[in-house]
Structure 1
Amino acid sequence: MSKPEKDYSETLFLPQTDFPMRAGLPQKEPELLKRWQDTDLYAQLRAEAKGRDKFVLHDGPPYANGNIHIGHALNKILKDVVTRSQQMLGYDSNYVPGWDCHGLPIEWKIEEENYRSKNKQKPNFSEPAAMVAFRQECRAYAEKWLNVQRDEFKRLGVEGDWDHPYTTMSFPAEAQIARELMKFAANGLLYRGSKPVMWSVVEKTALAEAEIEYEDYTSDTVWVKFPVTNGTGDVAKASVVIWTTTPWTLPGNRAVSFSPKIAYGLYKVTDAPAENWAKVDDLLILADKLAADVFKQAKVAAYEKVADVSADTLAAMVCKHPLAAMGYGFQVPLLAGDHVTDDAGTGFVHTAPGHGREDFEAWTANARALEARGINPAIPYTVDENGALTAQAPGFEGKRVINDKGEKGDANDAVIKALAEAGNIIARSRLKHQYPHSWRSKKPIIFRNTPQWFIAMDKSFVGASSAASVAATAPGVAPNDQRTLRERALDAIAKTRWVPPQGENRINGMISGRPDWVISRQRAWGVPIAVFIKEKTDGSVEILQDPEVELRIVEAFAAEGADAWYKDGARERFLGPKLSGDSWKKVDDICDVWFDSGSTHAFVLEDPEQFPQLAGIKRRVDGGQDAVMYLEGSDQHRGWFHSSLLESCGTRGRAPFDVVLTHGFVLDENGRKMSKSLGNVVAPQDVIRQSGADILRMWVCASDYADDLRIGPEILKTTADTYRKLRNTIRWMLGSLAHFHDDERVTYDAMPELEKLMLHRLAELDEVVRKAYAEFDYKRIFAALSAFMTSDLSAFYFDIRKDALYCDPYSSVTRKASLSVIDQLFRCTVTWLAPMLCFTAEESWLARYGADAKSVHLQTFPEVPPQWRNGGLAEKWRNVRQVRRVVTGALEVARAEKRIGSSLEAHPIVHVSNAELYEAVLDVDMAEICITSALTLVSDAGPDDAFQLPDVSGVAVVSNLAEGTKCARSWKILNTIGADPEYPDVSPRDAKALREWETMKKAAG
């Protein structure tokens, strides 16, 4: 029986660490959050960065309503990666979280929970006490959800000033929002007008573009005749035909639009069934391109073109309203319009100026000319806030376009029936198409003419009415800057950095074509449009601009909140004795919540009293070095980016941001939108509970956020597997560094080539990481670090150096050089990962430097010495690694054929006929690099049956067995075992290591 090998394991420098292989993130992360809170990490970050240039990520406020979802998690994690990485790049990178607290969703929740569900009557808002009490209920609801969301955001690892967030409902914020609105009154852009707005019948309020989504909807469609009342010959007997998907708007019709670019003709029906609405001998004017389709819809068997109809003829034409007999006896002129096409319909557009933007613009552009022709240019109010037709729609009063539940009413059928009875309909159908819906109620909206407050896009600024006014235009706006708001905004867009770049084109198009901004809402919970007005005889209003009144309003809001506007006696209080006896009227509409959030820059970035940590920002756009970033989903090009841009350009002449980053939306693994009905919702709370927040953070950073992201069980499993590989790499470094002492650090010049190669790779990565963090390209960083840590480190460098690290004598320069490099590898990789994997990086850092160490998040990215860059060495080792690949491949075959177990049992013969590769490996210990006991290098082509790789020419390997005896300590098979008689079962290298180890053990006592 052979003598068992001696156990030398205690003499090896094996990795030693308490850093666990199993992360246990759901338990560990809360401990780290508590540490950050107890040590006030946020304050430490501010102190550490004092005096640096600022990089401020201004938070787009989420709505304080309900638990956070996966989209929130994506957004907040990205923001945190931005702020942490900019801090580590050397900026004072600050983040003040905020919340949007006003608006309809909260009102709805209060009405539902506190009133409808309890069968209680909704408060009468005309009573001041009832209004204020209701607003306080809304405030309490928002405060409740703000606190819930704050805890959920913090659990994601998001670092910021959570103890001092901003909210749009704080008293100072409400005061500033009112002040910002007063600035628009002062510069002449605020006006009350009558325009068609998108109106939610269900919610009883006007809606902004950002509150609209398009869904499938089936509309009634009709082809309607407008009989011509002037002209000569057959034209005088003809009818202009229009097509509409909204028959209910016909009572509001005042004109028909055509295009001078379209060819029109006079057509005669020559054959049609007797029961048809379109009769034989009917004369119809249609676009030539669309005539055939119209007659097909009208079931006309035959027709003929009688004559061309010129644009001049149409421009002079007047028609009779198709419902003239019911009280619509006015003239209907034809108006030229660029919005008319011959893609569909009839080539004519029924024009109801109270029910559409283009209709409104076509009508008002011709108002003076129409008045000169004796046509009344007034726009009727044909639909009320309940979606019911009014007395200005004779014959249809009370008919509903949409009912209170958002369902189709009876107005369409009533109008179609009347048209048929009048003999002015030739066809009807139904069309399924995309139609605007409220994103809150999910119900279709209507366009209706209603008095609203607007901010003008194309009016020149007039400047503040008084230098003493609290509404005086903010500093930074040149006194002679008379550009319109649209011009200012387009100029600001061009001066902003957009990430990704296509965001610029998107918002540019939106600003270029948008109408005046409707900023009023007819609701209770929000900041009022805090102005006083006098009605003028022409229907317009005069806005009071009095510094004393403005100051009283702002001071009251700052002390009591905007509730002050609705309290009993508010009118007299704010107007004061001097003006209260006059006919000034208090406006009770509230501001669009997009105006609220669009004003946040004014009370977060410019109020040193409320937010001293952000004081003194010197924006790059103003010639400073500080930057402000906005970061939200791509839908905010028409939402918060849009409203913030317009608000700031209107009051400051420039954008509130220097950089705008947008991300996509989160879909399930199959690219479907998440919904409870599909059962594919991924809740961040569930992922954190099961796997930890760092898994979510890794998913975000590894994804292309510029596009829509996908998430689901399989994707999260893959993410967790990748995380485990990175964690094990870090764990091995920590274990090896347990044997490292800083006073034994080896200088660069004394290091072996392999160590210099790893430092070169760090230098390469340093450039990649810094550039990518500066460009917000996190997937590039993550991919580079993941590949480096798994391929370059775990599978190459660490694998090679395990023998030297574990078995070399304590005095070995190679061992100490390797530890010196691992120390640098750890410091660089962990700090580079820290913005992305904030918990794991902190846990690793503390495991390395002790519980009393400063947080990794207080570090800046390590400075990499220029001398580490060595392109020549890197090129040589690319060739070495090519040869190593062939050897490794040959050993895998030998292992599969069971000729060897461990690679240490091999002694490969490596034939290298490629001169460049041979030159590279000639002075390299290839046995060490290939982890074999021996290796023989031969400069020839090798035998035909030698192992080769097709993509590495000139290298062939024969896998021989190593000869000699197995070292009991290092397991290498060598002929030198026993050369040191004191240690007969190990190699001379291991004998020396044992001798040093025993000496150290005796010295230690």
Structure 2
Amino acid sequence: MCADTPDQTPDYKDTLNLPQTDFPMRAGLPQREPGWLAQWDRIGIYDRLRAKGEGRPVFTLHDGPPYANGHLHIGHALNKTIKDMIVRSHQMMGHEARYVPGWDCHGLPIEWKIEEQYRAKGLDKDAVNVVDFRQECRRFAEGWIDIQRDEFKRLGITGNWADPYLTMDFHAERVIAEEFMKFLMTGTLYQGSKPVMWSPVEKTALAEAEIEYHDHKSHTIWVPFRVVSDGPFKDYKVVIWTTTPWTIPSNKAVAYGPKISYGIYQVTGRPEECWCRIGDRYILADALAADTLGKARLDPSMYQRLADVAPEDLAGLTLAHPFRGIEGANGFWDYDVPMIDGDHVTDDAGTGFVHTAPSHGADDYEAFVKRGWADRMTHNVGEESEFLPHVPLFAGLRVLDQKGKEGKANTAVIEKLVEAKGLIARGRITHSYPHSWRSKAPVIFRNTPQWFAAIDRPVGDGQDAHGTTIRDRALTSIDSLVKFTPQSGRNRLYAMIESRPDWVLSRQRAWGVPLTCFTKKGALPTDPDFLLRDPAVNARIAEAFEAEGADCWYLPGAKERFLGSDHDPEAWVQVFDVLDVWFDSGSTHAFVLRDRADGTPDGIADVYMEGTDQHRGWFHSSLLQACGTMGRAPYRNVVTHGFTLDEKGNKMSKSLGNTVAPEDVVKQYGADILRLWVAQADYSTDQRIGPEILKGTADSYRRLRNTLRFMLGALGHFSESDRVEAAEMPELERWVLHRLADLDQQVREGYRAFDFQQVFQAIFTFCTVDLSAFYFDIRKDALYCDGDTPRRRAARTVMDLLFHRLTTWLAPVLVFTMEDVWLDRFPGEDSSVHLQDFPDTPAAWRDAALAEKWLKVRQARRVVTAALEIQRTDKVIGASLEAAPVVHVEDPAMLAALKTVSFDDLCITSGIELSADPAPAEAFRMAEVPGVGVVFEKAEGEKCQRCWKILPDVGQHSHPATCARCDAALD
């Protein structure tokens, strides 16, 4: 301190209690985050959390397994971060929160990659030993699991990374087979021949969850079917419209709508280029006749409507197939084509009649099953979408080639229709069409023998509290056992389950868990003894899978080994199809939740959390599978997030160059910024991310970090001897405690509801508005300039209470930064914020009356600070401490409240005068705070060289150029 001489102003800087912290302003997250990851590995934090949670209520989030075949994308980061926030927050709210990460390892994507490697080497996959091929698939998956595990850990995701679950683990393969065999034993498994979505590129059936829809350009044709039955309509023509010409050779009926208005239209004229002939009589839906005849190049002057056609007239008609009698077909299509009614027929588009090929359409198939015509199914198209050898004229022609491009089948059929005078119009249409989400190639509907789980048959003896069938149990679970976040997920899943067909379980591939069953040689699928149902055989299979994995199903002698001495191997056929991978992931509840020590006591997860596409994927398959084996949904909560889009709301695409890779964000900003982006967004809808959005996220982060840094500085050398009880604190501190009590409830409710946006926004607003812009701003003076006063001790006590709550409340979101903050104050080899719980908040901190009073105080303060900001902008003053305004307050209650607090300290002025007199005309006012007027006045006196307040008593004390407060502090 400078010498006390009359001509020298003392320097009191070293006497101030300035903030003391080494906590850096710049986070340096990309460089520093790996160090905390290493620290957590060293102290085994996940295991320590398990030990700490012993005896607590168990909370389990069951991980929907990502696929082990590539680097993580931004959707993975969103998904895993939300899961991590759920698990961490519930652990810190007093649960034993378990998280076992897992991977989906079987299936076509991996098999496809190995096949690509084979093709590149000129090898034939089918010539390779199946077990050797499966081992290559296993090694491929193992490699990507290691890569993805490191990428997930880098995002700060906590979990049992040392022992994740894998669907290709031997025990998992055993349980998947056992779960399948439960379907076998309860009678819900059957083999049927029906149209399924088939990928000619991948040569396998696909489930709805494996399908995505893209625009596709298809041929469209209008085909007349001649009436051959006797009666008034003989030789009239019923016109159908289809976008799949290749299915015409498999036509078996034409469907009409019983509620549609139909008429007879006769051609009276024709242009030169037209396939219609004068005198032709067409039966068409009235709503579509003009459009149909227009497509045939007929204008309204070239046809006339002759009469109505009633639905009962159509019911008895028999038609000729358009290829009937065609040369070279040897009578292949010389059969009668009946007309059938169908509720699926509309007059929205087409002709009002639907070409019906039961082997190539779901509605078509159901119409035939309904009539008992399943024996009329055709088998004309093979696994590569080729017409089979028995089909005349078209044998060997493919609908789609090996790359998913259009083959020759469509054009060949169209050309033959022209030749047979079986066409009145043709064209092209772009429409939404199903594609394989793996190969991105179009699929076809194709009749093929497959294995199904019947969702409307009684399961076993049908005795179950939640329903007798899989569908009943699933719908009951959705309605009464599961909570959905957001609620719209409930409606989506319910509608899907309510209307879905039987589950196609089989795939014609090699890498997966086989359908571990045997069929009786020579028996029909409808025969009672078609399937072998023997618990002893099932037990042998399960034991072998546990010890050797599913590969043992493919070894020489496997059939004899599993059938044992009780069954003649020559009498039984071993099934080699593999299970749909959705059955694998749908079974995870059994080998993770039920079987693992870190599963759940009842085998049911508290939460399943995935993207909205999983209503038809994992949520769906898990529900069906569990309802088939344990009678109810395997989850209590279903939480759904949206998709990730670029900043403009466009779908991300590598070809558009608008993707955002998690790795790039982590390298530039750090994982905490990515996590904060997740927390700030409403994940129930689609998320946008991009450079500008991330810049905004980083700005929020900096503001929050500065708040925490200020607290660390104020808490330098704080000890228990400095602590003040809440009842002894000034009102301002008690108001902060009241806000903390409110916020504690908000935070806990938000975390329990999985609403991280609400949690973060509440904390962020509190930090920036209530703390940085209000409480900290006011209490800087007391913290820096007071001596060892009750006010300063109370402020530091509140800082300590704030510290423990803010660091733990934010720890599930900003896992690295809160560790940084915590260790800055509580360093130590075993120290970690993630080993803490949310502190209990005393109910006594709530004080509604005090909060109401301070609402009025803050409203009045807003008017004062706004008035002073104008003076500062106009350079009348340089700082608010140069002011001593007069504040006119009309409301007696507000005025009384202001007189009980140090309002000049709250407004950071050197003085303030409160008046009940009406405010003069020149007073500053704010419309949103009526009844308060501020008249600016400069503070009188000298500037204290220690606290910078301008007061009349400065210079009148033993320490030169100080006020009374600072003089006492110096003493």
The alignment's TM-score, normalised by the length of structure 2, stands at 0.97
2: CA distance, partners of 1:687 / 1:798: 33
Deviations 1:676-713 (A, max 9, x none): 22221111111111111110110001100000000111
Instruction: Indicate whether 1:560 and 2:548 are aligned.
Output: yes
Structure 2 counterpart of 1:489: 474
2:494 to 495, 504, 508: 508
Change over 3 Å in CA distance of 1:257–1:314 after alignment to 2: same
Shift of 1:739: 3.8
Structure 1 counterpart of 2:124: 121
Aligned residue type for 1:704: D
Aligned residue type for 1:76: K
Q: Contact conserved, 1:740 with 1:816, CA < 8 A, in 2?
A: no
Shift of 1:766: 1.1
Change over 3 Å in CA distance of 1:9–1:311 after alignment to 2: same
Instruction: Indicate whether 1:989 and 2:965 are aligned.
Output: yes
Shift of 1:970: 0.8
Q: How large is the Cα RMSD of the aligned pairs? A: 1.6
Equivalence map 1:28-177=2 (5 Å): 28-113=32-117, 115-124=118-127, 130-177=129-176
Equivalence map 1:443-842=2 (5 Å): 443-463=441-461, 478=463, 483-494=468-479, 495-538=481-524, 540=526, 542-607=530-595, 611-617=596-602, 628-810=606-788, 812-842=789-819
2: CA distance, partners of 1:194 / 1:715: 52
Shift of 1:266: 1.9
1:944 to 906, 918, 921: 921
Deviations 1:378-424 (A, max 9, x none): 21111101111113432211111111111111111111111112112
Change over 3 Å in CA distance of 1:581–1:672 after alignment to 2: closer
**SS of aligned partner of 1:447:** strand
1: CA distance, partners of 2:665 / 2:245: 50
Instruction: Indicate whether 1:343 and 2:354 are aligned.
Output: no
2: CA distance, partners of 1:362 / 1:443: 28
Deviations 1:814-848 (A, max 9, x none): 00111111111111111111111111112212222
Shift of 1:273: 2.1
1: CA distance, partners of 2:390 / 2:904: 96
Structure 2 counterpart of 1:308: 308
**SS of aligned partner of 2:714:** helix
* Worse-matched range after superposition: 169-178 or 46-55: 46-55
Q: Contact conserved, 1:54 with 1:617, CA < 8 A, in 2?
A: no
Aligned residue type for 2:127: N
2: CA distance, partners of 1:275 / 1:952: 81
1: CA distance, partners of 2:85 / 2:600: 23
Instruction: Indicate whether 1:366 and 2:351 are aligned.
Output: no
Shift of 1:535: 4.1
Q: Contact conserved, 1:321 with 1:331, CA < 8 A, in 2?
A: yes
**SS of aligned partner of 1:649:** helix
1: CA distance, partners of 2:525 / 2:883: 97
2: CA distance, partners of 1:612 / 1:745: 44
Structure 2 counterpart of 1:433: 431
Structure 2 counterpart of 1:394: 392
**SS of aligned partner of 1:878:** helix
Shift of 1:948: 1.6
Shift of 1:365: 1.0
Gaps of 5+ in 2: none
**SS of aligned partner of 1:725:** helix
**SS of aligned partner of 1:355:** coil
Deviations 1:842-867 (A, max 9, x none): 22122222325642222222211111
Deviations 1:544-585 (A, max 9, x none): 111221111111111111100111221112112332443101
**SS of aligned partner of 1:192:** strand
Equivalence map 1:943-982=2 (5 Å): 943-981=920-958
**SS of aligned partner of 1:110:** helix
1: CA distance, partners of 2:11 / 2:580: 78
Aligned residue type for 2:551: D
1: CA distance, partners of 2:261 / 2:126: 58
2: CA distance, partners of 1:617 / 1:583: 41
Structure 1 counterpart of 2:271: 273
Q: Contact conserved, 1:390 with 1:397, CA < 8 A, in 2?
A: yes
**SS of aligned partner of 2:570:** coil
Aligned residue type for 1:7: D
1: CA distance, partners of 2:533 / 2:121: 44
Structure 2 counterpart of 1:215: 214
Aligned residue type for 1:28: R
Aligned residue type for 2:924: F
Q: Contact conserved, 2:269 with 2:278, CA < 8 A, in 1?
A: yes
2: CA distance, partners of 1:679 / 1:538: 54
1: CA distance, partners of 2:476 / 2:306: 53
Structure 2 counterpart of 1:382: 380
Shift of 1:3: 3.8
**SS of aligned partner of 1:594:** helix
Q: Contact conserved, 1:252 with 1:393, CA < 8 A, in 2?
A: no
1: CA distance, partners of 2:879 / 2:917: 27
1: CA distance, partners of 2:237 / 2:304: 15
Q: Contact conserved, 1:226 with 1:322, CA < 8 A, in 2?
A: yes
Structure 1 counterpart of 2:317: 317
Structure 2 counterpart of 1:470: none
Shift of 1:754: 0.4
Shift of 1:436: 0.7
Q: Contact conserved, 1:224 with 1:242, CA < 8 A, in 2?
A: yes
2: CA distance, partners of 1:478 / 1:274: 70
2: CA distance, partners of 1:662 / 1:885: 42
Aligned length, in residue pairs: 957
* Worse-matched range after superposition: 758-767 or 24-33: 24-33
Shift of 1:915: 2.6
**SS of aligned partner of 2:234:** helix
Equivalence map 1:920-935=2 (5 Å): 920-935=897-912
Equivalence map 1:185-200=2 (5 Å): 185-200=184-199
Instruction: Indicate whether 1:329 and 2:341 are aligned.
Output: no
Aligned residue type for 1:336: D
Shift of 1:618: 7.0
2: CA distance, partners of 1:141 / 1:879: 66
1: CA distance, partners of 2:132 / 2:569: 28
Instruction: Indicate whether 1:356 and 2:361 are aligned.
Output: yes
Shift of 1:293: 1.1
2: CA distance, partners of 1:826 / 1:592: 51
Aligned residue type for 2:18: L
Structure 2 counterpart of 1:998: none
Structure 2 counterpart of 1:473: none
Q: Identity, % of aligned pairs?
A: 55
* Worse-matched range after superposition: 116-125 or 50-59: 116-125
2: CA distance, partners of 1:955 / 1:616: 62
Change over 3 Å in CA distance of 1:117–1:36 after alignment to 2: same
Q: Contact conserved, 1:70 with 1:684, CA < 8 A, in 2?
A: yes
Shift of 1:539: 5.3
2: CA distance, partners of 1:951 / 1:449: 71
Aligned residue type for 1:598: G
Structure 2 counterpart of 1:1001: none
